């Protein structure tokens, strides 16, 4: 039976590279590109079809940052498919990034340079804002919209007797110090991206605890440092061009500078060919590229508290109730 695979944020960067790799791995795949911009989704499909002429590629409109869009997309998916084998939660944003330029230059010529690029610790802040649902935009896009999607798709993700998989594109920037269980949306901080990625690591653990018995397995990956629209939004492209020779040089000494979307998608692809039973729920799977350009995947234990992940899960369920209520009241008003 053909596998049904849905990828959010599939029209560029790591998501698009993943789609290319999945179609190369399995030509029978039924691939659904879930994107907020249908023109970009069409372009992505056309690009994929040039190298995979007979591929079965569907498009779905999905803005993960909008409750209404997530609910509508889930309805559409339930009408189209009777199961989803793989749900890749890859869409993500880092709006208005601010780089501490002084710390960057200091770090560039220090021993900490590799860790600095891998985790952006002490280097990167963002300015978040409220979206039209009254949620913090980064939280809503990177975490909550995906959570709501999973909740809506449970009938397709947990069909009796079969296993399904969820894979989150997290980051090494996910740090416990940026997250507060009292402020899960990160209303009061300057690192909403790091907070949202740490929350996705915790949510993945909680999902495994609650859903493994029903055949649903969740994993998180870090793609390494990859040159995509997201990274070009952090620093101007001329700056990246300027430091690229240093980056390629550093790549000889570290394996976390994957640099290309193809390399960054390594762990996402690797997970596709693994058995769910062999996965470690506490591991983050890292895409790595050696100095000689060899790609591989390595698990690393996450710095996560079971109890806190459970509290986060309960808080997300509570918030889900609130947004659903608001949504239904809104529909009644109309
Ligand atoms: N690049 C890195 O070094 C790096 C490192 C660690 C983790 N990551 C993670 O990797 C993932 C992919 O990012 P990328 O680096 O490949 O950057 P990218 O090229 O900017 O891709 C991000 C994708 O997410 C989509 N997206 C953003 N907001 C969305 C929304 N509200 N609804 C639906 N789709 C939305 C974008 O669509 P549009 O084209 O419409 O904007 C795009 O397709 C992200 O989760 C990111 O946090 C990246």
Lowest mean pLDDT segment, chosen from 67-71, 124-128, 140-144, 258-262: 124-128
201 neighbors 148 (Cβ within 8 angstroms):
no
- The pLDDT of residue 250 is above 90: no
pTM of the shown model: 0.96
In the structure, which protein residues have their CB atom closer than 6 angstroms to any atom of ligand 1?
8-9, 11-15, 35-37, 40, 62-65, 90-93, 141, 169, 171, 222-223, 225-226, 228-231
16: CB partners within 8 A, 6+ apart = 10, 44, 47, 48, 261
CATH domain 4-333 topology = Rossmann fold (3.40.50)
Please tell me the predicted confidence (pLDDT) of residue 278.
93
What confidence score (pLDDT) does residue 243 get? 85
pLDDT higher than 70, residue 130: yes
Whether 193 sits among the annotated catalytic residues: the reply is yes
pLDDT at residue 332 greater than cutoff 70: no
pLDDT in tens, 76-106: 999 999 999 999 999 999 999 998 888 888 8
pLDDT single digits (tens) 180-226:
999 999 999 999 999 999 999 999 999 999 999 999 999 999 999 99
The residue nearest atom 36 of ligand 1, judged by CA position, is 9
Please report the DSSP string for 228-251 in residue order. SHHHHTTS-HHHHHHHHHHHHHHT
Report CA Rg, the chain.
19
């Amino acid at each position: 039976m053909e596998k049904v695979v849905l990828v959010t944020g599939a029209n560029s960067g790591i998501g698009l590279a993943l789609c290319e790799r999945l179609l190369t791995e399995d030509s029978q795949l039924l691939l659904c590109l879930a994107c907020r911009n249908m023109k970009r989704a069409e372009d992505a499909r056309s690009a994929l079809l040039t190298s995979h002429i007979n591929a079965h590629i569907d498009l779905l409109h999905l803005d993960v940052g909008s409750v209404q869009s997530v609910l509508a997309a889930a309805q559409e998916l339930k009408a189209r498919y009777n199961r989803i084998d793989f749900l890749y939660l890859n869409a993500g944003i880092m709006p208005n990034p601010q780089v501490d330029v002084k710390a960057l230059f200091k770090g560039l010529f220090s021993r900490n340079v590799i860790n600095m690029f891998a985790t952006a610790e002490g280097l990167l802040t963002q300015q978040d804002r409220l979206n039209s649902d009254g949620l913090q935009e980064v939280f809503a896009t990177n975490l909550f919209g995906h959570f709501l999607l999973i909740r809506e798709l449970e009938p397709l993700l947990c069909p009796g007797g079969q296993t399904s998989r969820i894979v989150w594109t997290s980051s090494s920037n996910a740090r416990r110090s940026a997250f507060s269980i009292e402020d899960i949306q990160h209303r009061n901080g300057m690192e909403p991206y790091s907070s949202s990625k740490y929350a996705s690591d915790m949510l993945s653990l909680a999902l495994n605890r609650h859903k493994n018995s029903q055949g649903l397995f969740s994993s998180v990956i870090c793609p390494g440092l990859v040159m995509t629209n997201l990274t070009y939004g952090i620093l101007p492209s001329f700056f990246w061009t300027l430091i690229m020779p240093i980056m390629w040089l550093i790549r000889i000494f570290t394996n976390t500078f994957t640099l290309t979307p193809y390399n960054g998608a390594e762990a996402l692809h690797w997970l596709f060919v693994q058995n769910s039973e062999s996965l470690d729920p506490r591991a983050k799977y890292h895409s790595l590229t050696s100095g000689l350009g060899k790609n591989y995947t390595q698990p690393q234990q996450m710095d996560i508290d079971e109890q806190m992940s459970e509290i986060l899960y309960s808080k997300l369920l509570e918030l889900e109730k609130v947004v659903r209520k608001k949504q239904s009241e809104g529909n009644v008003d109309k």
